[in-house]
Amino acid sequence: MGKKVMKFQDVWFRYGEDLPWVLQDVSFEISASEWVAVIGHNGSGKSTIAKLMNGLLFPQKGKILINGLEVNEETIWDVRKQVGMVFQNPDNQFVGTTVRDDVAFGLENRGIPREEMIRRLKSSLAAVRMEDFELQEPHRLSGGQKQRVAIAGVLAVSPQVIILDEATAMLDPSGRKEIIETVKTVKEQDDVSLVTITHDLNEVTLADRVLVMNEGKVWMEAPPRSIFAKRDELKEIGLDIPFVTKLSAELTDRDVILDSEPLNHDELLEELW
Ligand code: ADP
């Protein structure tokens, strides 16, 4: 993998001096155009990591670097140009009365010239396949469509990294599928790194790498397949492997594949999404 766009170096974080450490000695790196999924049980520190990534919180020990720039009080505005966030509740993220105004809002705020603004507006709505919804009211859209608009709003600002913090948690299965598909397309087309934070392991199958958090520490960092091979250990830390991986293992074990073709796990994953 190429250039590192984000680095956590020996990061320690707690919410107060007399409170326990929520993150302990957390280190990892994210490369340009890489998709990293952060998983872990509730309370393992995932959201805290997301907030540290764009300067909503600062570590007490260690460093966070975005493109070599240390995240601190002085650099947060530069950092936030480079790190976009999409949150859990689609209804809390809208500022515009139409999809177009909403996506344009972040651009107007940054004083982008009008022609460039229109170009970015069109291309980011096209990237999430919402170009036909420009004049609609965001509140009338489905949950999946709302999150696609939120992703377009972030994309329009051309960040280096987009963080989706439980961005599918409030969506139904079809909404989730929409977002995963969108994330996949965005990753293929735009030169952007993605960090998806979730407690749902079904969503991480397409990521390049998975960071598993447990009790504030990085428990394992590897491609999805290597993570899912550790089914028993994952269970011990309160995580279950994706349905499709279970199915694949089960069918292979029972020898029920009729034409003696080994079951192709990757093809199954593609089918699933
Ligand atoms: P996750 O996203 O994995 O569920 P969080 O990062 O939200 O985990 O939380 C990690 C730990 O930090 C939990 O024990 C949680 O109770 C604690 N915590 C989160 N936010 C606060 C806060 N504002 N004040 C005090 N403790 C907090």
Q: How confident is the model at residue 75 (pLDDT cuts 50, 70, 90)?
A: very high
Atom of ligand 1 nearest to the CA of 197: 2
28: nearest Cα among 273, 253, 210? 210
Q: What is the pLDDT of residues 205-238, one digit of tens each?
A: 889 999 999 999 999 999 998 998 888 899 899 8
Was domain 4-241 assigned CATH 3.40.50.300?
A: yes
Atom of ligand 1 nearest to the CA of 216: 10
Classify the complex by whether its ipTM is higher than 0.85, answering yes or no.
yes
Q: What span, in angstroms and rounded, lies between the C-alpha atoms of 257 and 127?
A: 38
Say yes or no to pLDDT of 7 above 70.
yes
Residues with CB under 6 A from ligand 1: 15, 19, 22, 40, 42-48
Distance from residue 121's CA to the centre of ligand 1 (Å): 35
Atom of ligand 1 nearest to the CA of 51: 6
What is the residue with the minimal CA distance to atom 11 of ligand 1?
Answer: 43
Q: What are the residue ranges of helices labelled H in the chain? A: 46-53, 76-82, 99-109, 114-127, 143-156, 173-189, 224-228, 231-236, 243-254, 265-272
Say yes or no to pLDDT of 163 above 90.
yes
Q: What is the pLDDT of residues 85-103, one digit of tens each?
A: 998 887 877 888 999 999 9
What is the residue with the minimal CA distance to atom 14 of ligand 1?
Answer: 43
The domain ranges of the chain are 4-241
Ligand 1: which of 15, 17, 18 to mutate, judged by most atoms within 8 Å of the beta carbon?
A: 15
In this prediction, residue 158 carries a pLDDT of 87
